[in-house]
Amino acid sequence: MNEIETQLQEEQQAGLASLERVADPQALDTWKQTHLGKTSLVMTTYGKMGTFSKEERPLIGRAVNAVKVALEAALAEKEEVIKHEALLSSMASEKLDVTLPGFLPRRGRLHPINLTMREVFRIFGDMGFQVYSSPEVETDDMNFTYLNIPPYHPARDMWDTFYTEDEGVVLRTHTSPGQIRSMREYYPNPVRVILPGACMRYEQQDQSHEIEFMQFELLVVDKGVTFAHMKGTLDDFTKRMFGASAYTRLRPSHFPFTEPSAELDMACIFCGGSGCGVCHGTGWIELGGCGMVHPRVLEYGGYDPEIYSGFAAGVGIDRTTLLRYHIDDIRYLRNNDIRFLEQF
């Protein structure tokens, strides 16, 4: 046995012996540095391998491997022991009162717009409508052309539009493009859907205008659908939403995609129709637009206007939410103030 092998054997004995005396994590660390670190005999011997003769090399190699394996095994065992002891001592010194009450998770709640939306779904669900969702980013054709608003027609100015950098792609300005999408999907069956969702308009924001707002579209297409069906459905909706004393009127209006067209007004629920600040003294609050689906729009949807007729409406959900909860500024709905949201 040569000198190096002897040294290695002594190192193993010394290492194992000193490991016996290690009792805490810091001492274990120091031990690791000394016996298995960069400057330890084991590691420096590996580094010097090239300086040994061809005959010595396998012998020394085997010897140093054996020492390393022995030291590492002892170290792993010691680590377990120390970990276990640390756990025992912390259990002995720290008291845990399992009878203390826990922390209740904070409960989230639905946004008032969603509450209103769910109520809208419930009401129209009772009337036999289905909810149909359609994209918020639309083609110019769906948002305008197929709704009887051809390119460059001044009627497009009724909507302040966000155009995207992609030619022919817009953020939808209303839920009406869903009329075309749902008709094309349902054809030739009758259509009775509501289409809820976000719409975007490039607008000056104030107390009652936001660039983003929610709307739901109402669409019925079938044989023999009349204006009276529309009036009855809309009036019934407001009664179910705002109470039996709510009543509505239809005011003549114009939309390129309905003929005839009307604005849906509800008697002001704050003053009962006598005139107040909310209704600007008129006694009426505007809920949305409506009308009989224009023959050309029916055609774009695939339905023969000689056989089918239909009605459509677009009602503001934000507006409805303000009325339902007596909120006086539309901007509260989206500025994420927890003091506002907690009230619902």
User: 């809820």: which residue's tokens?
Assistant: 196
* Closest separation in Å from C-beta 258 to ligand PHE: 5
| Helix residue ranges per DSSP H, 212-331 | 227-242, 295-301, 317-325
255 near ligand PHE, judged by CB under 6 A:
yes
312 near ligand PHE, judged by CB under 6 A:
yes
Instruction: Give the residue with the Cβ less far from ligand PHE, 63 or 313.
Output: 313
Which listed range, 39-47, 58-66, 308-316, 317-325, lies at the site for ligand PHE (CB under 6 A)? Answer: 308-316
Instruction: Give the residue with the Cβ less far from ligand PHE, 171 or 313.
Output: 313
Q: Which two tokens stand for residue 203?
A: 């607008």
Closest CA to 120 of 279, 263, 287: 287
297 near ligand PHE, judged by CB under 6 A:
no
Mapping DSSP to helix (H, G, I), strand (E, B) and coil, where does residue 260 land?
Answer: strand
256 near ligand PHE, judged by CB under 6 A:
no
Does residue 337 contact residue 255 with C-beta atoms inside 8 Å? no
Closest CA to 249 of 285, 216, 274: 285
* Closest separation in Å from C-beta 151 to ligand PHE: 18
* Closest separation in Å from C-beta 286 to ligand PHE: 11
- Residue 187: how many CA atoms within 13 Å on its side-chain side? 17
Which listed range, 13-21, 162-170, 190-198, 289-297, lies at the site for ligand PHE (CB under 6 A)? Answer: 289-297
313 near ligand PHE, judged by CB under 6 A:
yes
Q: Is the dihedral of CA 281, 285, 288, 294 positive or negative?
A: negative
In angstroms, the CA 113 to CA 325 distance is: 10
String marking each residue 174-193 x if it binds ligand PHE according to CB under 6 A: x-x-----------------
Residues that bind ligand PHE (CB under 6 A): 174, 176, 255, 258, 261, 288-291, 312-314
